[in-house]
């Protein structure tokens, strides 16, 4: 007899989706027990880490990863990570367990209540198959939904469905789906006309431009039009080589900063992002009067929420490569518009600061390194000092929630074991996903984890202090520091080699030893680096 489980596993094999990330519960036992040898099971110790690792794997492989979650408890724990996967454009097939279909009406122990409503805002597609026999087709469709829409596609499956007999019914999903990548001539004509008529265009690149073909197209277009290139604020990935002479830096996240940065440009071409992502609310326009905005993205939502004169929904690589061929070249030297900063090592007795750590990394990391960031209080310094020099050279949680960095770094290295992976994480951030270190140790994942330890939520302290009072005194934060926590001790307890680094000499010594091994490492290393608050 062919069971629903047999038919579903066949779907996963057909799509090459044979790595399963999970933290199992009782509602998944019938799916996971006696898993065939050709399927790889990867255990994470918390559902947030399950989804974070799957997200990193999917972005590294550029194909959907499979995450398995346990009814309300597991899905609830993972919702924040699913929101990050959605904003980070990570294709995930998410299978959520449910209690036995035959007594759901009685609301038994572990019955999931409105699981679809719990996850729907953070998914590109959600399905609760009407019959057990529809589960394989739903999983097949979820793979295509995740791939085409680049986000989590969720299938909710009662636990007894897996053992049901499959009736051989046709799957309500194609075997293959293809996304067209050709550039529409009419769209290219419209954008080319605006660019050609522009006096001083500028380019803003977003996470949706982070692939080899789009980088090449944007470099050609920027050079042809002599445009400065900015990175979108709070982007999950780098949309342009940040060591290129035309790279101008990261746009600020407030309207005044955006206006100031783009002042003097009469046209702004935004590629692979919306125009423009903000963080603090500020009054005023996004750009100066008379500045026109054009958006090119393959994400309809990004296009339609942008206050643009023209929005083109299409593959950015194809459109921008065609634009680089069409627009007239402008005669301008490729002046280096990026402002580089020199960071001197700390003098004797001076504490380490994040910029000392980043400068040491910048001097040593290979070009192809993936830097996974989750250090809110020093993110701007990291951007300034450690440029992304290859596609997927930078990865962050664009949604803004914590707990992504550690598991994502583990997932990236699992998905792309030939690339060096360095996670740069704040100690407060690390505690949201610290259990991912066990998975790194258990599965031999050679990731370097650098935790900047200042014993507090530095970004929150800074925001509270900035509030101030009517008398001009800084605002008081009610939360305490947590300096007694030992990140290196936690790393050791979870099976990782861990070191506490307290001065610049310690830092450079260990980096000189470790960085040359990153491509071939098969064990994780945690550096607990003491930095000044």
Please give the pLDDT value at position 343. 86
Please give the pLDDT value at position 338. 60
The residue-averaged pLDDT of 343-356 equals: 89
Please give the pLDDT value at position 143. 97
Our measurement of the distance from residue 122's CA atom to the centroid of its chain's CA atoms, rounded to an integer in Å, reads 14
For residue range 93-124, list pLDDT tens digits in order.
999 999 999 998 899 998 899 999 999 999 99
Please give the pLDDT value at position 437. 98
Residues 6 or more apart in contact with residue 185 via CB below 8 angstroms: none
| Model confidence at 43: pLDDT above 90 | yes
Please answer whether residues 43 and 410 qualify as being in contact, where contact means their C-beta atoms are separated by less than 8 angstroms: no
**Across-strand partners of 127?**
155
The residue-averaged pLDDT of 384-389 equals: 96
In this predicted structure, which of 31-35, 170-174, 364-368 has the lowest mean pLDDT? 170-174
Please give the pLDDT value at position 334. 58
Angstrom distances, CA of residue 127 to CA of 76, 93, 168, 225: 17, 11, 20, 47
For 297, the enclosing helix (H) or strand (E) is strand 292-297
Please tell me the distance from the alpha carbon of residue 444 to that of residue 463, in angstroms, as a whole number.
39
Residues 6 or more apart in contact with residue 475 via CB below 8 angstroms: 464, 465, 466, 467, 468, 469
| Model confidence at 469: pLDDT above 70 | no
Percent of the chain residues past pLDDT 70, beyond the cut? 97
Q: Is 65 exposed, middle or buried (0-12, 13-18, 19+ CB in 10 A)?
A: buried
Mean of pLDDT over the chain: 93
| Model confidence at 335: pLDDT above 90 | no
Please answer whether residues 427 and 455 qualify as being in contact, where contact means their C-beta atoms are separated by less than 8 angstroms: yes
For residue range 13-31, list pLDDT tens digits in order.
999 999 999 999 999 999 9
Angstrom distances, CA of residue 104 to CA of 116, 130, 520: 15, 13, 50
The residue-averaged pLDDT of 139-149 equals: 96
Q: For helices 47-61 and 71-87, give the axis angle rounded to 10 degrees.
A: 40
| Three-class SS state of 124 | coil
Place of tokens 């080319």: 192
Please give the pLDDT value at position 4. 96
In this prediction, residue 480 has a pLDDT band, given cuts at 50, 70 and 90, of confident
| Model confidence at 459: pLDDT above 80 | no
The residue-averaged pLDDT of 333-351 equals: 75
The residue-averaged pLDDT of 393-408 equals: 94
Please answer whether residues 317 and 205 qualify as being in contact, where contact means their C-beta atoms are separated by less than 8 angstroms: no
**Across-strand partners of 247?**
229
| Model confidence at 443: pLDDT above 80 | yes
Please give the pLDDT value at position 76. 96
Describe the strand order of the beta sheet including 448-453 as a list of residue ranges: 394-396, 370-374, 421-426, 448-453, 525-530, 497-501
For residue 362, is it left (φ>0), alpha (ψ between -120 and 50) or beta? alpha
Please give the pLDDT value at position 470. 58
Please give the pLDDT value at position 522. 96
Q: Which two tokens stand for residue 19?
A: 């790595």
Please tell me the distance from the alpha carbon of residue 253 to that of residue 262, in angstroms, as a whole number.
13
| Model confidence at 185: pLDDT above 90 | yes
Please answer whether residues 96 and 69 qualify as being in contact, where contact means their C-beta atoms are separated by less than 8 angstroms: yes
Please give the pLDDT value at position 337. 58
Angstrom distances, CA of residue 378 to CA of 9, 349, 360, 426, 459: 44, 22, 15, 9, 8
The residue-averaged pLDDT of 124-150 equals: 96
Residues 6 or more apart in contact with residue 10 via CB below 8 angstroms: 136
Residues 6 or more apart in contact with residue 463 via CB below 8 angstroms: none
**pLDDT winner (highest mean) among 15-19, 472-476, 477-481:** 15-19
Please give the pLDDT value at position 365. 97
| Closest by CA position to 62, among listed 395, 319, 351 | 395
Residues 6 or more apart in contact with residue 393 via CB below 8 angstroms: 238, 242, 367, 368, 369, 370, 371, 387
Task: Write out the DSSP string of 308-357.
Answer: -SEEEES-HHHHHHHHHHHSPP--------------PPPPTTPPP-HHHH
Please answer whether residues 406 and 433 qualify as being in contact, where contact means their C-beta atoms are separated by less than 8 angstroms: yes
Place of tokens 């993936």: 370
Please tell me the distance from the alpha carbon of residue 320 to that of residue 515, in angstroms, as a whole number.
36
Percent of the chain residues past pLDDT 90, beyond the cut? 81
The residue-averaged pLDDT of 220-249 equals: 96
Burial 382-396 (b: 16+ CB within 10 A, else e): bbbbbbbbbbbbbbb
| Closest by CA position to 448, among listed 405, 489, 404 | 405
Please answer whether residues 487 and 453 qualify as being in contact, where contact means their C-beta atoms are separated by less than 8 angstroms: yes
Please give the pLDDT value at position 468. 67
In this predicted structure, which of 152-161, 248-257, 345-354 has the lowest mean pLDDT? 345-354
The residue-averaged pLDDT of 435-461 equals: 92
First to last CA, the chain: 63
Domains in the chain, CATH or no CATH each: 4-163 (3.40.50.970), 185-326 (3.40.50.1220), 354-530 (3.40.50.970)
Describe the strand order of the beta sheet including 125-127 as a list of residue ranges: 40-43, 19-22, 65-69, 92-98, 152-158, 125-127
For residue range 253-302, list pLDDT tens digits in order.
899 999 999 999 999 999 999 999 888 888 888 899 999 999 999 999 99
Please give the pLDDT value at position 339. 61
Say which DSSP state 177 is in.
-
For residue range 495-529, list pLDDT tens digits in order.
999 999 999 999 999 999 999 999 999 999 999 99
**How many C-beta atoms surround the C-beta of residue 342 within 10 A?**
6
| Three-class SS state of 9 | helix
């Amino acid at each position: 007899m062919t069971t629903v489980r047999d038919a579903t596993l066949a779907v996963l094999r057909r799509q090459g989706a044979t790595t399963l990330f999970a933290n199992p519960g009782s509602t998944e036992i019938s799916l996971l027990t006696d898993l065939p040898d050709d399927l790889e099971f990867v255990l994470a110790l918390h559902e947030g880490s399950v989804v974070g690792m799957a997200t990193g794997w999917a972005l590294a492989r550029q194909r959907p990863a499979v995450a398995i979650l346990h009814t309300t408890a597991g899905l609830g724990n993972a919702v924040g990570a699913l929101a990050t996967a959605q904003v980070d454009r990570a294709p995930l097939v998410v299978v959520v367990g449910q209690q036995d279909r035959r007594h759901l009406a009685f609301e038994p122990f572990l019955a999931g209540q409105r699981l679809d409503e719990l996850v729907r805002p953070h998914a590109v597609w959600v399905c609760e198959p009407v019959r057990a026999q529809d589960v394989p087709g739903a999983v097949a469709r979820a793979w295509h939904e995740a791939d085409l829409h680049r986000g989590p596609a969720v299938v909710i499956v009662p636990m007894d469905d897996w053992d049901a007999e499959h009736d051989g019914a046709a799957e309500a999903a194609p075997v293959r789906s293809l996304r067209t990548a050709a550039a529409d001539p009419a769209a290219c004509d419209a954008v080319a006309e605006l660019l050609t008529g522009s006096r001083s265009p500028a380019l803003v690149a977003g996470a949706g431009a982070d692939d080899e073909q789009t980088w090449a197209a944007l470099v050609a277009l920027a050079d042809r039009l002599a445009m400065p290139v900015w990175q979108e604020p709070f982007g999950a990935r780098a949309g342009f080589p940040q060591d290129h002479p035309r790279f101008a830096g990261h746009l600020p996240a407030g309207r005044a900063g955006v206006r100031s940065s783009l002042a003097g440009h009469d046209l702004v071409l935004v590629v692979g992002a919306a125009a423009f992502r903000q963080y603090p609310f500020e009054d005023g326009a996004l750009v100066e009067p008379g500045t026109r905005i054009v958006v090119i993205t393959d994400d309809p939502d990004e296009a339609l929420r942008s206050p643009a004169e023209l929005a083109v929904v299409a593959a950015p690589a194809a459109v921008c490569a065609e634009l680089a061929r069409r627009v007239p070249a402008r005669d301008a030297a490729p002046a280096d518009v990026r402002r580089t900063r020199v960071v001197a090592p700390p003098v004797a007795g001076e504490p380490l600061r994040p910029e000392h750590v980043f400068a040491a990394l910048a001097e040593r990391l290979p070009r192809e390194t993936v830097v996974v960031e989750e250090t809110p209080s020093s993110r701007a310094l990291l951007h300034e000092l450690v440029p992304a020099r290859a596609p997927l050279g930078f990865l962050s949680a664009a949604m803004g929630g914590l707990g992504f960095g550690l598991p994502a770094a583990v997932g990236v290295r699992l998905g792309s074991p030939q690339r060096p992976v360095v996670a740069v994480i704040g100690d407060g951030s690390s505690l949201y996903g610290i259990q991912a270190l066990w998975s790194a140790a258990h599965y031999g994942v050679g990731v370097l984890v650098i935790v900047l330890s200042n014993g507090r939520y530095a970004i929150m302290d800074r925001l509270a202090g900035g509030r101030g009072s009517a008398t001009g005194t800084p605002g008081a934060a009610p939360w305490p520091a947590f300096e007694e926590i030992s990140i290196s001790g936690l790393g050791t307890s979870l099976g990782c080699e861990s070191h506490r680094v307290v001065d610049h000499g310690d830092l450079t010594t260990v980096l000189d030893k470790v960085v040359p091994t990153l491509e071939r490492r098969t064990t994780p290393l945690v550096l607990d680096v003491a930095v000044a608050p």
